[in-house]
Chains A and B, each alone.
Chain A
Amino acid sequence: MDVTQTLQTGSGAWNPLLWLLALAVALALALAIRSRGRKDFREGNGRKPFISGNEEPGNAGGHVPASNLYWGFLESLKGYYSRLVPLHTGVPTDYVAWLLGVMALMLVIGLTI
């Protein structure tokens, strides 16, 4: 068993080991560039990150809760979600109705072909 084999997709190929090698080369390059930076820089030492002139916020309360993420995405798809979410009623008989509905639809399609 050759574990270095390339995955053939029919239209292309994928070799994860080569990809990892390329990643390692890129990482080595990044480290080489970093090593050419200023050697005398030390964290702290009175220096602060520049955030458009604002003070750096502290850690306390700095965590953004999940509901605040992708607000724009959800807002822009409000019409889609306002139709989709109510379908998830949580009522077992509704779930059975969907199953029977799909079955009926497929019966009509199946018997007409």
Chain B
Amino acid sequence: MMDTFVMRHLPALLIATPLFAAFLMPLVGNAGRTVRSAWVFLGALLTSAIGLALAWKVLATGTVLYVFGAATTQQALPPDAAFPIRIMFQVDALSALMAVIVSLSSLGITIYSLAAESKQSGLETFYAMLFLLIAGVLGMVVTGDLFNFFVFLEISSLAGAALVAYRVDDGVAVEAGLKYALLSTVGALAVLTAIGILFAQYNALNLASLAARLQFTALDKVALVLLAVPLAMKCGAVPMHFWTPDTYTTAPSSVTAFLVVSSQASLYALFRILFTLYGHLVQFSWATFGWFLIVLGVLSMFIGVTMAIPQKDVKRLMAYHAVSQTGYMLLGVGVGLAVLGNAEALKTYGKTAMAGGLFHIINHAMYKGLLFLTAGAIFLRTGTRNLNRLGGLGHTMPWTMVFFMIGALAIAGVPPFNGFASKLLIYESVFRFSPFLSIIAMVVSILTLASFVKVFHSMFLGPPRAEFAEAREVPAPMFIGMALLALFVVVAGLMPQPFIDHLISPAVDALVDRSGYIAAILGGR
């Protein structure tokens, strides 16, 4: 009976659990460090379990609809109503993919943070904000309502900014938090304006309902731009990426790792807007907006990696690589969007390109999260992120070195790690669209490898340095957090096809099948 209740209310519990964990955190924190740590672990474990259970349910049975306040959770339309008025979550295979990413990442990252942040003060606030960030990101990927999306975007942005500025003793962190908050607020203002434009015209906020009514008027075009550009900025696409290195560098590493996931939720929203909301309109130029993504992707890939190479701060270097890797996702899905109107091209390579792009999202969340966590481990033991000062740590931190190697080889697309599998899908499918783009993607991978060879050499190789003689392996929670992410990187690399079959392909189909998304809400109406 309990099983049935939980399974029926999974979408609501997915948001309620981290919110509950966040709001009780100040109270639980008073009970001592052990109780607080246990509460954090339990909150993260439960949220992840619910996220994975929801994803499993969606992939096994199809889209899950959850309507708040209705007689039954599946009653999308009130009796005799022409359009949905209630708040609802609509979890299709694409949302399920994102829920898996958030669930796995948040668990590994939270466990890691238990040791990494243990010496800091104000941890009740830190974890309250971390759970709010997790709730915000989860809400962004499961909601079927545009205004709700804005609310969750704001929750994640504000919690993210607070976490970036968490180490207030470092003025740079506060500055980075302010930059993140400013950019997020300006972006959110544009998103809210777009939602207002759509609501004024169509009297609806529900995504499926709006998708069914959209006419592609001049105002709709303005709304599209006001939605798409800020979301591209939030995912760190060049030339709106400038906040990324500033923010990722100064935030605590566990926060940085989750900010990567938060950026990917914006990427999800960008794809959702372009495909589900606008993608079906005959007046909508698939090629134009496909090339919008492709151009952003190529710029992000190339400028991201070339800016990374000269960096001396390891986290700043990794932040530029995060920009670069986002480019691969934009390129893969952009090619899919560009050929959306061409059934033959979509079938022969468009869907494969999209699969590569979406597979790269989950792969990137894991290996980039892992890399940021290893950078945090190094900082914890040495007190510096400066690559000119570091060296010889392979002697004293061998496990951290192994985890770094796994992440570095994965991001560079070296087989047999997961980054290679998703990049291979992108290379081969994009080559059929434009060989030039594919070659750029391969060159960027080579430059990525070169950049991480430099980091590996600078941090781990060479004779032991006297100033880091006290450096030793990280505590168990940090080790476990890194091991969880590393395990995914290896497993997804060694057996990519089951991931494609059971997680990625359904997500691609869900992204392309807008009529299925609309029908889940409106039925025949």
Q: Give chain A's interface residues, CB within 8 Å of chain B.
A: 1-12, 14, 16-17, 19-20, 59-60, 62-67, 69-70, 73-74, 77, 80-81, 84-85, 87-90, 92, 94-96, 98-100, 102-103, 106-107, 109-111, 113
Contact = CB atoms under 8 A, between A and B. Distances in A.
Interface stretch (B156-164, B201-209, B226-234): B226-234
Nearest to A69: B454
B365 to A, nearest CB: 20
A66 B495 contact: no
A16 B242 contact: no
B432 interface: yes
B269 to A, nearest CB: 16
Contact of A60 (B232, B303, B458, B463): B463
Contacts of B493: 16
A16 B496 contact: yes
A103 B226 contact: yes
Main secondary structure of the interface of B (DSSP, over half): helix
Interface string B407-421: 000000001100011
A98 B240 contact: yes
Interface stretch (B84-92, B104-112, B177-185, B508-516): B177-185
A66 B292 contact: no
8 contacts: A3-B494, A3-B498, A5-B495, A14-B421, A66-B312, A69-B457, A85-B307, A95-B240
A11 B429 contact: yes
A65 B388 CA distance: 5
Nearest to B493: A16
Contacts of B455: 66
Nearest to B185: A96
Interface in B233-279: 233, 239-240, 242-243, 245-246
Contacts of A96: 182-183, 186
Contact of B494 (A17, A64, A94, A111): A17
B218 interface: yes
Contacts of B306: 77, 80-81, 84
Nearest to A10: B352
Given A5-B497, A66-B388, A106-B225, A98 B465 contact: no
B506 interface: no
Given A3-B495, A63-B462, A64-B457, A9 B285 contact: no
Given A69-B454, A73-B309, A92 B182 contact: yes
A38 to B, nearest CB: 29
Interface in B292-350: 292, 303, 306-307, 309-310, 312, 348-349
Contact of A70 (B182, B240, B431, B454): B454
B421 A99 contact: no
A90 B244 CA distance: 11
A64 to B, nearest CB: 7
B178 A103 contact: no
Contact of A90 (B246, B424, B495): B246
Contacts of A81: 306, 310
A22 to B, nearest CB: 11
B100 to A, nearest CB: 16
B502 A1 contact: yes
Interface in B419-475: 420-421, 424-425, 428-429, 431-432, 450, 454-455, 457-458, 461-463, 465
Contact of A9 (B183, B309, B428): B428
- Best-buried of A16, A85, A90, A107 by chain B (most CB within 10 Å): A16
B494 A16 contact: yes
A59 B463 CA distance: 6
A11 to B, nearest CB: 5
B239 A98 contact: yes
Contact of B498 (A5, A88, A90): A5
Nearest to B418: A16
B179 A95 contact: yes
B187 interface: yes
Contacts of A94: 242
B133 interface: no
